[in-house]
Amino acid sequence: MVNRERIVNEFVELISIDSLSLQERNMADVLKQRLSELGFDVYEDDAGVKAGGNCGNIIGEKKGNKNVPAILLMAHMDTVTPGTGKKAVIQDDIIKSDGTTILGGDDVAGIVSILEAIRVIEEEKEEHGHIQVAFTIGEEIGLIGAKNLDYGKIHAKYCFVMDSGGEIGVVATSAPSQNKIDIVVKGKAAHAGLEPEKGINAIAIAAHAISQMNLGRIDDETTANIGIINGGNATNIICDRVELKAEARSRCDSKLKKQTEHMKQCFLEAADKFGGEIEFIDELMYPSFKINEDEEIISILKKATEKCGINLVLEATGGGSDTNIVNSKGIKAVDVSVGMDKVHSVEEQISINDLVKSACFLVEIIKAVQ
């Protein structure tokens, strides 16, 4: 059975390791050692070289003794900022940060659930198929590790990405595509006090475009947001350049295309109205995925939750994760909750009971593969 004290101690130890995006070397070295101790053949790919990081993804494989499909267990090593000098504070059942940094449960909770589940499988001498593990880099800055993972080393049929929040038993089976959008609005500079008529205000163009735009929740599958605006140099100069960063997401690719075109059209019309110009560049950051309820990976989850006595909740999410990329490679993947709460904030916390339940759930997932 899951060792409560062991998983808590390992969680506290690992969150104390600084592991910002593309600076995961120290975490990677520890995890390579842990996997080796658990009998895995361990390999580090060249994702870090490609992305400009100080280490690659860590890939491990442990041969099975049961003739069932191989599975891939996945979590990411990097954290968001402020993530330097993290310290865990334990109060009753809750582990939280000291309030000056994030906790780092996103995604150390996923890492320790994987390590603990494998230990339990070995200690209880459970038969299992081949188990592959991938600990990725740069997830928080664009799924960089998953995009550059050496898939030539991966032969798993199913993947369980341990990187979601909510109650244990919540599993994301659908997630959107995301378009990253960069816009440059070009106007014409002029003295704002002496001859404003000779200028074309790029801020006014951007403001008009945004005022005509559908943003926020578009429908139950689609969202859009203008997140960053930069422009202007002085109050006495008509602004001649504004740069904006935006995004659009949808679980329906045709809706994503329609929303992106709508945003572009709003900028084009505003530029035409005021006499300016725009540059509009959209880039697909990751594709959508959807796992149907009648697929075998869902049957595995159902069997596991029945054994654990927890409720299986299949949900569609509005976020992206390594799961999107893995599915695009032809491997059936779902994103499994590890109980993380208030992530990406200095109020981040996790329940010890959820840590234990997450590892228990993963043990039963491994056992349920047929």
**Cα gap 76→137, rounded to integer Å:** 6
User: If residue 278 lies in a helix (H) or strand (E), which one and from where to where?
Assistant: strand 277-286
**Distance between CA atoms of residues 65 and 299, nearest Å:** 22
Task: Starting at the earlier edge strand, list the strands of the sheet with 277-286.
Answer: 216-219, 222-231, 241-250, 177-186, 277-286
Domains and CATH numbers, the chain: 4-175+288-368 (3.40.630.10), 177-286 (3.30.70.360)
SS3 346: coil
Q: Please say whether the dihedral angle defined by the alpha carbons of residues 248, 177, 366 and 60, taken in this order, is positive or negative.
A: negative
Of these residues, 45, 78, 240, 341, which one is catalytic? 78
- What is the pLDDT tens value at each position of the chain, 370 positions in all? 999 999 999 999 999 999 999 999 999 999 999 999 999 999 999 999 999 999 999 999 999 999 999 999 999 999 999 999 999 999 999 999 999 999 999 999 999 999 999 999 999 999 999 999 999 999 999 999 999 999 999 999 999 999 999 999 999 999 999 999 999 999 999 999 999 999 999 999 999 999 999 999 999 999 999 999 999 999 999 999 999 999 999 999 999 999 999 999 999 999 999 999 999 999 999 999 999 999 999 999 999 999 999 999 999 999 999 999 999 999 999 999 999 999 999 999 999 999 999 999 999 999 999 9
* CA 50 – CA 70 distance, rounded (Å): 28
220 is an active site residue: no
For residue 45, give both structure tokens: 């790919």
> Active site residue: 139, 240, 335, 341, which one?
139
Q: What angle do CA 335, 159, 224 make, to 5 degrees?
A: 35
Helix, coil or strand: residue 127: coil
Exposed, middle or buried: residue 323 (CB in 10 Å: 0-12, 13-18, 19+)? buried
240 in catalytic set: no
